[in-house]
Structure 1
Amino acid sequence: MGKTIWELDFYSRPIFDENRKKRWEVLICESPMDVTQAPDTLFRFSRFTDNQSVNSAWLKGAIQEAIAQAPNPPQRIRFFRRQMNNMILKACEDAGIPAAPSRRTYALTQWLDERTKSVYPQEEGYDESAAKTSTVQYPAMNAIALPDAVRGDKADRWAIVSLPAGDFAELPDWEIAFGESFPLTMLGIDDQTPIPGLIIFSPRATPLAGWMSGLELGYLHLETKPVPRLWLETGASDSWILVDLKTPDTLKEGQEFEAALARAHGVHFLAIQSPQESEAFAGFWLLKTP
C-alpha cells in the first residue's frame, strides 16, 4: 500500500447565519499520488460549523471523524492557508498526524473552486459580495541558492523540453527514484497537449532528488528581475534558484516555457537525471502553477 497524504482547508465561507456571522468549513481531500488514479476515487470530507467553534479542538474532532470514514488514514496532511497555520498545526498534532504548509494542494484547490461556483451559492445565507476566489496570493520572496551539499558544478546541464500529455500514461513504468505525480484527467487535459518541463542533468542527481523529496514541491516559474532565472517554489513561501538564464537564447527558452504553461493549464514537470543515465530518473515530479 502506498502512502496516503491529505490536503486540508479550514476557513470561513461566503455564507452567513441568522446572526450575520460567517459559517466556517473544513475541507479534506486525498492527494492524488500518481497519473493512474481516477479523480473520483479520491477520498473527500466536508463539515460546516459556526464561528464559535473555530478552534483547534473542533478541527481535531473533524480530522478524527474523517479518519474514521476514510479507507486509508493519512501519513501526512498538507494545507495552503498560511493565516491558519497555528490552528491547523495544533489540530493535526493533537490528532497524531504530521502537517506541513504546502502549495501542492492541487486537488483541494480544484475542489474549492468547484464549491465556490456551484455549492456555496445554493446555501441559505450565501452572499455573493463576500465570495472570494480560492486562489491564495503569496508575498514575493527572494529565491536562494540550493544547499551546497546538493548544488551541482560546471558539469551540470539543463534542458527545457516538452512531452505530449498522453506520454505520461506510461509514467508508472519509468524508473524513478523520487517523485510524485497526479492524474492529468483531473484537469481535462487532452493527450496531445504539450506538457513543458525542466530536466537537470547533474553528477549529484541522487542527492539533489533526495533532498527535493523532503520538500513540498509547488511549481516552477520564470523570474526576470534582477536576473532572469527559473525558480522552484516549495512549502508555503520558499523559493529556490534552479537555473540562470544568462543569454538571450536561454531567456527565450524560459519565456517559451512560461507560454507553454498557459496552454497546458499550468501543468509542467521537473526531472533530475544523472548525465550517465539515459533512461532512469533520480527525481521526477509533475507540478502545477496556481
Structure 2
Amino acid sequence: MATLSYNPSKLRNHKPQSHKPISSLSKPIKIPFSSSQFYTLSPSKFNKLRLNSVSESSVSLPTNQPPLTSASDNNFNEEEEEEIDDDPTSEVSYLDSETDPDSIIEWEMDFCSRPILDIRGKKIWELVVCDGTLSLQYTKYFPNNVINSITLKDALISISDDLGIPLPEKIRFFRSQMQTIITKACKELGIKPVPSKRCLSLLLWLEERYETVYMRHPGFQVGAKPLLALDNPFPMDLPENLIGEKWAFVQLPFSAVQEEVSSLEERFAFGASLDLDLLGIEIDDKTLIPGIAVASSRAKPLAGNCLVSV
C-alpha cells in the first residue's frame, strides 16, 4: 500500500533559517528588501543597491576586532537578528559550507510573479534557485518592468559570483510560460535549460515560502491565484516519432521497477529516477505499478524522445 507524506529528513535542513552559512555568520545572509525601491530606482541602480546592501552588512565585519558590547547590547542584537530573520521582505543567499561547490552541477529555478504588490500596485517578481538538497538557496525580488532574459542572465551570474560556485551544467524549471526567457538566458551562459516537473526540492521550498514568507509579506494579495498551479494542456495527438508499433497496458512489481532504476544509477541506461524518499512515498516490493509498454523498432530513440517530453 503506497503512502504519501513529505520526508524532511531527506533534505539538508529544509528551512533556510536552520542552515550554517558559508560565511562566519550563524545564519544565512538575508538582505532586507523594500518594494518602495522599485518606484524610484532604475534597474542598474537597483542591482547596485542590492550588492551594496550585502557588502555593508555584518559579513564585512573584521573577526579579529570584535566590538565591545554589554549584556543588554547582546540581548538587543539577538532580538534584532531574530526580527530580521523573520522578515518576509528579506532575500536569501546561502551555500552550505559542508558542500563542495563544484559538486552542484544542476540547479532548480523558478522565475515568476508572486502574489505580492509593490507601492505602485504592481506584482513583484522573484527568482528562486536551489539544488536538489537545498545546499544552495537563493532568492531575489524584481520589479515587473525589468523582466527579461538579460535580467535573468545577470542574476544567474550574480549567484555564481556572490556564493563562489560555478554555473551549473543544467537548470530545471517547471513553468512553461517562462520557457522563452529562461531558455535564452541559459543558452547565452552555456547552460542547458531543462523543462521538467521534477523540480521536487524547489516545489517543496516554494510551498513552504508561500506560508512562511509570501502570506506574511505586507504586500500580500489575498485571493490571488495559486502559486504552484501547473499547466494542464488539452490532449493532443502524439507526434509520429513518438508513436510505437504496438502498445500494451502492463504492471510490474515495485521490486522489478527498482531494478530498472538501479540501471540508471549504474549508468547502464540514460534518464532520471524519481526520488521517492524525498516525497516520503513508501511502497511494498510486491505492489504492482501500472504503466504502458511500447514496442518499436526504434526503441532507444523513442525512449529518448519520451524522456525529453516528460
Where on the TM-score scale, by shorter chain, does this alignment land: which range?
A: 0.5 to 0.7
Determine the C-alpha separation between the residues in 2 that align with 1:100 and 1:49. 23
- Give yes or no for contact 1:158–1:201 (8 Å, CA) kept in 2: no
Q: CA offsets per residue over residues 132-190 of structure 1, 9 Å max, x none?
A: 24022232131315528x8345xx76622241699579836667412211422221223
Is 1:64 paired with 2:150? no
Q: CA shift at 1:40, angstroms? A: 4.5
Partner residue in 2 for 1:83: 177
Task: Point out the structure with the larger helix share.
Answer: 2
Determine the C-alpha separation between the residues in 1 that align with 2:124 and 2:174. 20
Partner residue in 1 for 2:230: 136
Determine the C-alpha separation between the residues in 2 that align with 1:102 and 1:141. 18
Partner residue in 2 for 1:22: 123
TM-score w.r.t. length of structure 2: 0.54
**C-alpha RMSD of matched pairs (Å):** 3.7
Is 1:107 paired with 2:198? no
Match of 1:159 among 242, 246, 250: 250
Partner residue in 2 for 1:52: 145
Determine the C-alpha separation between the residues in 1 that align with 2:283 and 2:238. 36
Amino acid at match of 1:163: F
In structure 1, the gaps of 5 or more residues are 33-38, 218-233, 236-290
Determine the C-alpha separation between the residues in 2 that align with 1:24 and 1:94. 22
Specify the structure having the higher radius of gyration (Cα): 2
Partner residue in 2 for 1:35: none
Determine the C-alpha separation between the residues in 1 that align with 2:156 and 2:178. 15
Amino acid at match of 2:138: F
- Give yes or no for contact 1:161–1:199 (8 Å, CA) kept in 2: no
- Give yes or no for contact 2:114–2:123 (8 Å, CA) kept in 1: yes
Match of 2:276 among 184, 191, 196: 184
Partner of 1:8, secondary structure, is strand
Q: CA offsets per residue over residues 93-112 of structure 1, 9 Å max, x none?
A: 23232324333433333332
Match of 1:126 among 191, 205, 220: 220
Amino acid at match of 1:111: W
Q: CA shift at 1:195, angstroms? A: 7.1
Q: CA shift at 1:61, angstroms? A: 1.1
Q: CA offsets per residue over residues 71-94 of structure 1, 9 Å max, x none?
A: 553222232222223222222223
- Give yes or no for contact 1:178–1:209 (8 Å, CA) kept in 2: no
Determine the C-alpha separation between the residues in 2 that align with 1:64 and 1:165. 43
Q: 1:151 to 1:3 in 2, by over 3 A?
A: farther
In structure 2, the gaps of 5 or more residues are 1-101
- Give yes or no for contact 2:115–2:214 (8 Å, CA) kept in 1: yes
The 5 A counterparts of 1:255-274 are: none
TM-score w.r.t. length of structure 1: 0.57
Q: 1:175 to 1:85 in 2, by over 3 A?
A: closer
Q: CA offsets per residue over residues 42-61 of structure 1, 9 Å max, x none?
A: x3322111223222221111
Determine the C-alpha separation between the residues in 2 that align with 1:187 and 1:66. 27
Partner residue in 2 for 1:288: none
Match of 1:198 among 265, 275, 291: 291
Task: Point out the structure with the larger strand share.
Answer: 1
Q: 1:67 to 1:143 in 2, by over 3 A?
A: farther
Partner of 1:129, secondary structure, is coil
Partner residue in 2 for 1:6: 107
Determine the C-alpha separation between the residues in 2 that align with 1:171 and 1:113. 30
Partner of 2:278, secondary structure, is helix
Q: CA shift at 1:14, angstroms? A: 0.8
Determine the C-alpha separation between the residues in 2 that align with 1:195 and 1:71. 43
Match of 2:210 among 116, 141, 146: 116
Determine the C-alpha separation between the residues in 2 that align with 1:73 and 1:25. 19
Partner of 1:136, secondary structure, is coil
Q: 1:202 to 1:216 in 2, by over 3 A?
A: closer
